[in-house]
Amino acid sequence: MNTLKQLIEKYNQPVPRYTSYPTVPFWDSALPDKNRWQAIVKDTFQATNSKEGISLYLHLPFCESLCTYCGCNKRITKNHGVEPVYLQAILKEWSMYREILEEKPVIREIHLGGGTPTFFSPENLTTLLTKLLEGCDIHPNHEFSFEGHPNNTTREHLQALYDLGFRRVSYGVQDLSLKVQQAINRIQPFENVKNGTEMAREIGYTSVNFDLIYGLPFQTLESIKDTFEQVITLSPDRIAFYSYAHVPWKEKSQRAYSEEDLPQDEEKFALYELGREMLLEAGYHDVGMDHFAKAEDDLYVAKLENRLHRNFMGYTTNNTKLLIGLGVSAISDAFYGYMQNVKTVEEYYALLKMEELPIVKGYFCTDEDVEMRSHILNIACTGRTKWISEPECAQLNPEILLHLLDLNADDLIELGNNGLQVTPLGNRFIRNICNAFDLKMRAANTQTGAAEKMFSKAV
């Protein structure tokens, strides 16, 4: 059996985080069939709206300063005059989708992402969301959440969004070491994180999440330990502990520091192991890929009750089949198809002005895609998946079966005739286990090796 060091060396390969299948790099680059997309959206909506409702993701791309590690779509500016124009554009796009849906939507989930959603004033966010929800019903089990920057999330932001039904805030903490913060150009004192957390709880938010990253420049075991000791004193309800995705060929800002400044392979994995150990000792539970939650948090409860779902917003407790993404680069998921918006504000405005949906690329799923996605989501959300019947194990795609047998030999899964179960050791390698069912990536690597430059490494 391989040692942990050998497993890290073996499985530290570029693989997706699987917020969709197929993943975005394998979507069609040609202009998508907009009529077909609208038909899929309408069909999925009519089949699911009355029972489960729909999800909305709003991408708010503006930031006042550039965090050099960031791989998100963003626009750096200190000009807050951009706010009303952009928000009107989002409302225009939503009105176009409302025409496609025809009937009154039931809103189950809203997430404000970025960029920095709290770049926008509380007043402008209130106007946006009030108009967005006009003529809609709110699902009784709705979940509204937003991403906040500890430096600029004010009590007014928190109160305004709370009044609109928001109960979860996610703060981008990343790391509390000043040396690391200076390297990634994100200086935020612990006091700001503490104030943001306390204000949210005083107002009535029921879930506070922290995003933390391991593998950043100049991180050490000592600095990670210090970060987690401080974080644990604030007792956030959830923690997302992500692996830093170093992709300087895609994100030029990541060239602000040298690769020699980054912890590598075994050293990087040790950072994760220390953070994970400290969280488990503090009473958190390993929910799945990168996520930890307290026993009473909805995310962990959903995992226990097999209600956990994963989409472009990450893990969620609401399994809606229709997710509409609004704003630049936002992605929509209609179960049988995906679509992504254009990536620049200028293109976004221009297409909306021409009364066209601002989409640029997409993908329509085959039956095989739906089957593979089912296995990938099962593994990511429940740690197991099943075949339809026992003989199917022998009839699996030979490449999938070969990969599963290898994972089984390494004690990352327990492979049976009718399914697999992720082992405790395998929880550290969930992305690799999901990857066994990624036929698109395997075909791309076989043909050209192109997938090697598409994704960050698993560790």
Q: Which domains does the chain have, with CATH numbers?
A: 24-364 (3.80.30.20), 367-453 (1.10.10.920)
Cα distance between residue 315 and residue 241, in whole Å: 13
| pLDDT given for residue 222 in this prediction | 97
| pLDDT given for residue 451 in this prediction | 55
| pLDDT given for residue 452 in this prediction | 56
User: Is the pLDDT score of 423 beyond 50?
Assistant: yes
Cα distance between residue 48 and residue 50, in whole Å: 6
| pLDDT given for residue 389 in this prediction | 53
| pLDDT given for residue 175 in this prediction | 97
Chain mean pLDDT for the chain: 91
User: Is the pLDDT score of 42 beyond 50?
Assistant: yes
CB 274 within 8 A of CB 224: yes
Q: CA torsion, points 150, 156, 162, 163, in degrees to nearest 10?
A: -170
User: Is the pLDDT score of 388 beyond 80?
Assistant: no
Q: Residue 91: count other Cβ atoms within 10 Å of its Cβ.
A: 16
| pLDDT given for residue 13 in this prediction | 86
Least confident of 230-244, 389-403, 445-459: 445-459
For residue 253, what pLDDT band results from cuts at 50, 70 and 90? confident
| pLDDT given for residue 391 in this prediction | 44
| pLDDT given for residue 458 in this prediction | 65
CB 348 within 8 A of CB 60: no
For residue 156, what pLDDT band results from cuts at 50, 70 and 90? very high
Task: Give the residue among 25, 30, 28, 29 at the shortest CA–CA distance from 451.
Answer: 25
Choose between 314 and 239: higher pLDDT. 239
Chain segment 280-336, per-residue pLDDT in tens: 999 999 998 889 999 999 999 999 998 999 988 888 888 899 999 999 999 999 999
C-alpha count within 13 angstroms, C-beta hemisphere, residue 150: 24
| Single pTM value for the model | 0.93
Query: By percentage, how much of the chain surpasses pLDDT 90?
Result: 75
**Mean pLDDT score, 45-66:** 95
For residue 394, what pLDDT band results from cuts at 50, 70 and 90? very low
Task: Give the residue among 408, 453, 398, 452 at the shortest CA–CA distance from 429.
Answer: 408
| pLDDT given for residue 64 in this prediction | 93
Cα distance between residue 231 and residue 196, in whole Å: 13
Task: Output the six-digit token pair for 290.
Answer: 């990168």
Three-state DSSP state, 360: strand
For residue 198, what pLDDT band results from cuts at 50, 70 and 90? very high
| pLDDT given for residue 246 in this prediction | 78
For residue 225, what pLDDT band results from cuts at 50, 70 and 90? very high
| pLDDT given for residue 84 in this prediction | 97
Cα distance between residue 335 and residue 321, in whole Å: 5
Q: Which helix (H) or strand (E) holds 303?
A: helix 298-304
The type of residue at 326 is L
Chain segment 409-421, per-residue pLDDT in tens: 999 999 988 899 9
CB 76 within 8 A of CB 63: yes
| pLDDT given for residue 104 in this prediction | 96
